[in-house]
Amino acid sequence: MTGNNKSIETPADAHETARQAVEDSRAVAEEMRVSGEQFRRRSEEDRQVAEEHRNLREASRDSREQERLLQEDVRQRSEDLRDAAEQLRAAAEDARHSAEAARAAADEARRVAELARETQADMKALLTQVLAELRQRGTTN
């Protein structure tokens, strides 16, 4: 025997080592396959979460745009309502002026009618007097 303490590997040991290496390789390959599958699933879940977040952001943006459009519509309607109210106020002011003018015209028409009645009464009295004088002259002649 020499002073070498190297163990001598038998063919059975070599076969066992090779079998163990193959088994270890299969276990590593299976772990890699499972890890790859888990990674693929997690990646798909992350993609879905990202898609959901994108959809939520888009829905939120659409909602803000709808709100902006509604606020613009409300603003426009308020402005239209203010314009209509101003037109109504102006029309009411015109109607008030027209009513005042109509009242003044009616008052003037009443005064003219009263003057016409007074004039008619005065003319009637004058004609009665003239007729009486004419009758008196006619009977004295």
Q: Is residue 27 part of a domain?
A: yes
Rounded Cα distance, 132 and 97, in Å = 52
pLDDT of residue 4: 52
Distance of CA 124 to the CA centre of its chain: 76
Q: Is residue 130 part of a domain?
A: no
Q: What percent of the chain is predicted at pLDDT more than 70?
A: 93
pLDDT at site 32: 93
* 86: in domain: yes
Helices (H), 1-141: 11-140
- Residue corresponding to tokens 């003018």: 101
Question: Does a structural domain hold residue 115?
Answer: no
- Structural domain contains residue 28: yes
Residue 137 lies in a domain: no
Residue type, 69: L
What is the extent of the structural domain holding 93? 12-106
Q: Does any domain span residue 4?
A: no
pLDDT at position 118: 96
What stretches in the chain show pLDDT beneath 50? 1-3, 5
The identity of residue 137, as a single letter, is: R
pLDDT of amino acid 50: 97
CA distances in angstroms from 33 to 19, 36, 46, listed in the order given: 21, 5, 19
For residue 83, tell me if it sits in a domain.
yes
Token pair listed for 66: 């709808």
- In DSSP notation, 75-88 reads HHHHHHHHHHHHHH
**DSSP for residue 30:** H
Q: How many domains does the chain have?
A: 1
